Amino acid sequence: MKSVQQALRVLRHVYEHPQSTMSDIARANELSTSTAHRILATLEVAGFVSRDDDRGFTGVPVGQQRTIDDSIAHCVEVAQPHLRALGSVTAETVHIATLRGSLVEFVAAVESTKLVRVSSRVGLQVPAGAAAAGKMLLASLPQHEFDALEPTVAEALGSAAHPLQASLQSVIAQTRSLGFARNINETEDGIYALAVPIRRPVGPVLCSLTITAPTTRMPPLSHSKMTPVERSWLEELRRSARSIERALLH
């Protein structure tokens, strides 16, 4: 009952005080930042609140609620021809993924036609801090939201194939600065991935676009320097993401 009352207080606050930040909401309702984050994330998924471009939260008018899952499904739908085109150009498997708390879930894929390939991971959830898609989505969060989520993200990394090359904070900060993320054997041995965000017309980033390939087909890889193949793929990824973004309605 207590959690329900907290959620109702938060919901009332965002309707009465549009564009409130998470800190404002936590302070006004005497909640910890982690509790406010959990409640707002639940309300956002359910479509009762939206996050504005300036990262403030606003109540969605009754009758106009659209859930995050609706927006993800819309992204998957409009992305299909672009996924096929990207897969054709790179000859590798491509995925769309979304953040699920401390994990990242793959929600769409077009598999490579090569005999040796990374198979579709649709439906699979892996530690967000290890996957290229997850790093990109974590880096797209406002800093205070990432800070609230960091302990559970770090805990989930215990099931990753290999530890990160640097601290989680520094990895996410670097990803935010670069605008892309890589995964070299971090979620699974023998797997390489490169990811960029898919930005919506309004609201937070919900999905990322990823190329995945066997490391055996890649040139020698370095955590500090990109190969020409990677730079070419990054250009194709960004071009495909922009095409998807232009087709998104929400």
Do 107 and 90 fall into the same domain? yes
Average pLDDT over residues 83-105: 95
Do 44 and 134 fall into the same domain? no
Which residues, in sequence order, are bridge partners of residue 213? 192
CATH number for position 233: 3.30.450.40
Domain stops at, among 34, 59, 84: 59
Do 48 and 88 fall into the same domain? no
Q: Are 104 and 172 a contacting pair, CB within 8 Å? A: no
Do 49 and 140 fall into the same domain? no
Tokens of 195: 């990811």
Do 43 and 97 fall into the same domain? no
Domain stops at, among 28, 59, 90: 59
Do 48 and 157 fall into the same domain? no
Do 112 and 34 fall into the same domain? no
- The per-residue pLDDT for range 44-80, each reduced to its tens digit, is 777 778 776 556 887 777 655 567 788 899 999 999 9
Residue 19 has pLDDT above 90, yes or no: no
Average pLDDT over residues 124-149: 92
Q: Which of 25-29, 59-63, 97-101, 190-194 has the lowest mean pLDDT?
A: 59-63
Sheet strands side by side (includes 191-198): 125-127, 103-110, 93-100, 207-214, 191-198, 181-184
Average pLDDT over residues 77-89: 96
Structural domains in the chain (count)? 2
In three-state secondary structure terms, 109 is strand
Do 34 and 155 fall into the same domain? no
CA atoms within 13 A on the CB side of 102: 16
Task: Tell how far CA 31 is from the center of its chain.
Answer: 26
Distances in whole angstroms, Cα of residue 209 to Cα of each of 44, 56, 79, 86: 22, 25, 10, 10
Do 49 and 104 fall into the same domain? no
The mean predicted confidence, pLDDT, of the chain is 88
C-alpha triplet 117, 188, 206: angle, nearest 5°: 85
pLDDT over 90 percentage in the chain: 51
Which residues, in sequence order, are bridge partners of residue 50? 58
Do 129 and 208 fall into the same domain? yes
What pTM was computed for the model?
Answer: 0.76
> pLDDT at position 119, please?
95
**196 vs 50, residue with greater confidence:** 196
Domain that holds residue 142: 68-247
